[in-house]
Chains A and B, each alone.
Chain A
Amino acid sequence: MSAPLLSVSGISKSFRGLRAVRQASLEVPQGGIVSLIGPNGAGKTTVFNMIAGVFRPDEGSITFDGKRIDGLRPDQICHAGIGRTFQIVKPFKELTALENVLVGALRAERDVRAAKRKAEAVLDRLGMLDKRGQPAAQLTLPERKRLEVARALAGEPKLLLLDEVMAGLRPTETDQMVAVFREINAKTGMTILLIEHVMRAVMALSQQVVVLHHGQVIADGTPEQVVRDPAVLECYLGEEAAV
């Protein structure tokens, strides 16, 4: 097996004495889809923020594509090939949907016209081409979530970090979203690491699931292994969820 695309080893982060993440390690193989799950406050978003360069880990290292990336700024991380979405969406409100995605596309494509065409293609793939001229402020929350994904995708990342993009979506919308990610993963080989509470999406998408609890990794395996893990059932899924 080849070296993992992303390798997080033993990272920790404290906020004023609160240890949000303790010695967390995980690996994401090239071309894989990995889910990061766990109860609220488990430190999932903090792990994301360390990978994305928002926070510098107190200890440990993060290696991406063979290079150390911990301590880099978010824009440098983006240029290294990692795109992300925010759990609380951050659209450019006064800009149109197309312009939002265009900003993302300009990373890889400096020419505005070419970037615009690319942005249109990405919007089309996410079924939002009819919204292209609408200011982001006028979009519904599910649309904004898709816009967030489109913006990150437009930068052509090697690794896509998705922070709860299914939350608040209806089951059919979730299934559409899952289909989109599967297609992208299959067609372009884009690697995906997602934080998700919607187990329907986690089970359908992931090849590997990592469970975080109190800032520590308590389980790591295939979806089928993880949902039968007694520790995971106790702290997160509950007994009934054993499917």
Chain B
Amino acid sequence: MIARLVDGVPKRALILLGLLMAAMLVAPLLVDPYILSVLVIILYFAYTGQAWNVMMGFAGQLSLGHALYVGLGGYTAAALYVHFGIGPWAGVWVAIAISMAFGLGIGFLAFRFGIGGVYFALLTIAFAEFTRIGFDHFDWVNGSGGLFLPVEQYSVNDLPNLRGSPTMFYYILLALTAGAFLLCRWLLTGRIGYYWLAIREEPEAAQTLGINVFRYKMIAVAISAGMTALSGVFFAFYYNNLFPEQIFNISRSIELILGPIIGGVGSLFGPILGAFVLTVLAETVTEVMHALGYEIPGIKQVFYGICLLVVIIYLPHGIWPPLRKRLGLEQKP
């Protein structure tokens, strides 16, 4: 199984990956709290982007409503914690199950009735939007007033209840991101991965080669939704508050797919690289504007838009594939 993960990967790539991992592991010891919070955001987008990539990058199904799964995951775990005192490590499984069920429901409606391409994307937006409106009126989780988790000062990290310092959250996210990377690598080098790519490239030909297209699309949606639910659980316990208007918002759905698009849809390292590049640049722009004395609301969004334009025009496959080639890290056939 481990052999399959590294099969055909150049040694240099493994060494660079190891170095990156080592750097990420020691980073909290070296950086100030602000940089650490930026690193948390980077990892959050890297992980969530990887989850979205399973559906779009591998199986070719464009979801523009992934905030739905973030929100459902976050709300489920937070509500279980607030109302019943069920800890996040138990609640996360319920969160995953509920997100998967929603994903499978949407997938069934779309794939069973042949809704594809842009219409599928619209369907995903619609589900995210009406779930947002539904949660606005969902009194059990305090509707539009928002759901708050109890906040106290902690002298020690309470890992079982996910209460503690940013450093603890950083390491949890790092583990999640690394785990998602390995999981995706494992999926992509297996039978299911090749079947997804075939479906992405040419569904009719894929079916002719014996692939049950409906089933494999459903599996992609379930895995992607389940992985994304974890982002939501993290979000809830890190920020301690959830508002339907924020977490289910379409701008959140768009924000979390920018990383993989800029990094390289369908590549494994693309979402991670994209999250790094985008977050670091956006923070820099904000800092520079701040230093120059300008406070322009929405500057980050404008900047995201420009990045997206530049990448789509000049690097339609994202930054990572050409960079990978230049670094000589391409996989041997």
Contacts and interface: CB of A to CB of B under 8 A. Distances in A.
Interface string B192-212: 001101100110111111111
Contact of A91 (B195, B197, B202): B202
Interface string A87-103: 00011111110110011
A91 B202 CA distance: 7
Nearest to B198: A103
Contacts of A73: 207, 212
Contacts of B208: 52, 74-75, 78, 83-84, 86, 152
Contact of B207 (A74, A94, A96, A104): A74
Contacts of A103: 194-195, 197-198, 206, 209, 211
Contact of A102 (B4, B194, B204, B210): B194
Given A52-B208, A110-B191, A132 B333 contact: yes
User: Which 8 A-B pairs rank lowest in CB-CB distance, beginning with the nearest?
Assistant: A78-B210, A133-B333, A92-B201, A90-B205, A107-B210, A74-B207, A103-B198, A90-B202
A86 B205 contact: yes
Contacts of A107: 209-210
A151 interface: yes
Interface in A32-57: 52
16 contacts: A73-B207, A75-B207, A75-B211, A78-B210, A92-B202, A98-B333, A103-B194, A103-B197, A103-B209, A106-B191, A106-B195, A112-B4, A115-B191, A132-B333, A151-B205, A151-B209
Contacts of A83: 208-209
Main SS at interface, chain B: helix
Given A75-B212, A78-B208, A92 B198 contact: yes
A105 to B, nearest CB: 9
Interface residues of B, number: 23
B179 interface: no
Contacts of B207: 73-75, 78
Interface in A105-149: 106-107, 110, 112-113, 115, 132-133
A67 B190 CA distance: 32
B325 to A, nearest CB: 13
Contacts of B206: 92, 103
A75 B209 CA distance: 6
Contacts of A151: 205, 209
B189 interface: yes
A155 interface: yes
A68 interface: no
A39 B191 CA distance: 41
B162 to A, nearest CB: 37
Contacts of B205: 86, 90-92, 151
A75 B197 contact: no
Contact of A155 (B189, B190, B209, B266): B209
Contacts of A132: 333
A158 to B, nearest CB: 13
A99 B194 contact: yes
Contacts of A112: 4, 189-191, 194
